[in-house]
Amino acid sequence: MSPITGILAAVATPFDDDEQIVESALRAHVRRQLDAGVHGIFALGTNGEFYAQSSAERADATRMVIDEVAGRAPVVIGAGAATTRETVAIAQDAADAGADALSIITPYFAAASQAEIANHFRAVAESVDVPVVVYNIPARTGNAVAPATLEKLAEVDNITAVKDSSGNFDTILQYLERTDRESFDVISGNDSLILWTLIAGGAGGISGIANIYPKTMASIYDLFLSGDSSAARAAQDSIRPIRNCLALGNPNTVVKYAANVREFGLGPARAPFNALSDEAKRQIEETVAGDLERGLA
């Protein structure tokens, strides 16, 4: 099984105004998540702005996160890239650094057939000896992992989970139908679908909103596990206002700005993804203020 159960925080990578990684802020943010009760750390994913960092920067950030977590929770490192060659190199480095699992995004920009997608994941899985999580986010990559393809990939020994960020709940259901829940985990990468994924038999969620409200996100799983379905539903529903704000700009930029409203010190997103309008900022600020009044944390 993969080390993904419950809510993993898809941690943002803090930058200063010169777009340099701020190690102290990254370590503090990891501690913030663990102290809030999240069940694992997912670093260098979409919210971690992996696409805006060099391989060397990603390697440095990987080591900072793993060192700070220090075995207190599972660490999943985003190790994907556009080509198989580059992905293998990044994946091997992250595995050597001590990652508990690797998230591998589908190849992106160039169109890929299902055969090419399957070949890519198999090659990466064969290059490392840690669990591999298939990351499906077709709106960003242009390439989707079909349920039939995932069914075949789930037969590979160390491909142990899928993170689905398609936003299509039927995709999650088809992934669940085609894989063995005892040996393969299906995880929601969409914060709005975490509870529904758990109800359907999934293992949990990887949450960008945890950057803003880590306790609230962790509680969705904890309440579900305890059998308090109404409270779990209330926690799930409570993030709707901030989720609505994601339409105001690049979602990763919105998440960082909202976290900074809470004085979490994540800095700006890397250019050009750093230019929220004044109106967007106002709406985010008002939403966070309202959320805090309602008890989100």
pLDDT given at position 62: 98
Expressed in percent and rounded to 5, the helix, strand and coil fractions of the chain are 50, 15, 35
What is the pLDDT at residue 4?
Answer: 79
Residue 129 CA to chain centroid, in angstroms?
21
77 marked as part of a ligand binding site? no
What is the structure's pLDDT at 2?
A: 58
Query: Contacts for 275-279 with beta carbons within 8 Å, 24 or more apart?
Result: 275/249, 276/248, 276/249, 277/248, 277/249
d(CA 51, CA 103): 14
Which residue is listed with tokens 């008002």?
Answer: 286
- Please, are residues 123 and 96 in contact by the beta-carbon 8 Å criterion? no
Residue corresponding to tokens 């926690």: 235
Give me the half-sphere count of Cα atoms (radius 13 Å) on the Cβ side of residue 158. 18
Domains of the chain as residue ranges with CATH: 6-227 (3.20.20.70)
Among positive and negative, which fits the CA dihedral 178, 180, 181, 184? negative
Q: Contact 33/65 with Cβ under 8 angstroms?
A: no
**Among candidates 181, 259, 197, which has minimal Cα distance to 232?**
197
- Catalytic positions are 135, 163
pLDDT of the residue at 212: 98
* C-alpha span between 166 and 193 (Å, rounded): 11
DSSP secondary structure code for residue 295 in this structure: T
Hey, is 104 helix, strand or coil? strand
- Each of the 297 residues of the chain gets a pLDDT tens digit; together they read 456 799 999 999 999 999 999 999 999 999 999 999 999 999 999 999 999 999 999 999 999 999 999 999 999 999 999 999 999 999 999 999 999 999 999 999 999 999 999 999 999 999 999 999 999 999 999 999 999 999 999 999 999 999 999 999 999 999 999 999 899 999 999 999 999 999 999 999 999 999 999 999 999 999 999 999 999 999 999 999 999 999 999 999 999 999 999 999 999 999 999 999 999 999 999 999 999 999 999
> In 3-state terms, what secondary structure has residue 241?
helix
